[in-house]
Structure 1
């Protein structure tokens, strides 16, 4: 049990540090956006879709981190195969789809911005596609974790 508790504590610390990084991003994001608007006043109106996508991403990511933290708490308390852990996994899966949607929305706005300014947006778009790949992998992993929990809960339900 010590190894399990140590590894879950380590993962909780990593989740907490990721949450602090997201919070720092949310605090400095408006300052960065205003500075960019001053440097490029012609494309300043594209900051609104960017900020909407960025803050939506931060909110969805923070909710997923909180649910992952709760899931680790359930695992520590030997409640890994419970309705609560299944509910946390469902919320994490919904957050991954929200993040994918927001990244796609960001790609579309970046493509429009590239058409307006004549710049090449291949680099940021390729990084965004990698983000979609990573998020899709997380969604698939959560889906794989949900199946045994559902089966376990259904099996226990039929026994009663």
Structure 2
């Protein structure tokens, strides 16, 4: 793969990480306070929802870090066990994000505070995370098979 492509993708990964970090530090607390002021009957949910969103940001940023490591592996040698480990971790982090959002939806449902719009956003994010997890699993298996074939060819020659 061309080095320029991976540099662009690394920059995109870093930009996404920076945007998420800025949103978590600046925008989320402001929106939580605004929502609590606007809907005082649901103000007690301010901290549980903030904690849930911050819990989601942790595996998201860890997955971005693994994506960065994967791009570094692709620059050096795409067929390596480091790439397989990075894909495995991305898969696990995506499943963790899904679990956090599904439990958040269930929590809001139990609290009788689940707005349909919030439910749709949670379902979409959960679906996207599951899709990323499945895609990472498929790539992981393809890479594992390619490594096996490469090892067999190395022994043949």
Q: Which TM class, normalised by the smaller chain length?
A: 0.7 to 0.9
Structure 2 match to 1:67 = 66
Structure 1 match to 2:107 = 109
Cα distance, 1:123 vs structure 2: 1.6
Q: Residues of 2 paired with 1:19 and 1:98: CA distance?
A: 18
Cα distance, 1:50 vs structure 2: 0.6
What count of residue pairs does the alignment treat as equivalent? 153
Structure 1 match to 2:8 = 10
Structure 2 match to 1:32 = 31
Coordinate RMSD, CA, aligned: 2.2
Provide structure 2 residue ranges, at least 5 long, that are not aligned to the other structure: none
* TM-score, length-scaled by structure 1: 0.84
Cα distance, 1:19 vs structure 2: 0.4
Structure 2 match to 1:139 = 133
Cα distance, 1:154 vs structure 2: 4.3
* TM-score, length-scaled by structure 2: 0.85
Q: Residues of 1 paired with 2:41 and 2:13: CA distance?
A: 39
Q: Residues of 2 paired with 1:26 and 1:42: CA distance?
A: 24
Partner SS state of residue 81, structure 1: coil
Q: Residues of 1 paired with 2:133 and 2:48: CA distance?
A: 25
- Aligned pairs for 1:65-104 (under 5 A) are 65-77=64-76, 79-104=77-102
1:149 to 114, 129, 143: 143
Provide structure 1 residue ranges, at least 5 long, that are not aligned to the other structure: none
Cα distance, 1:106 vs structure 2: 2.0
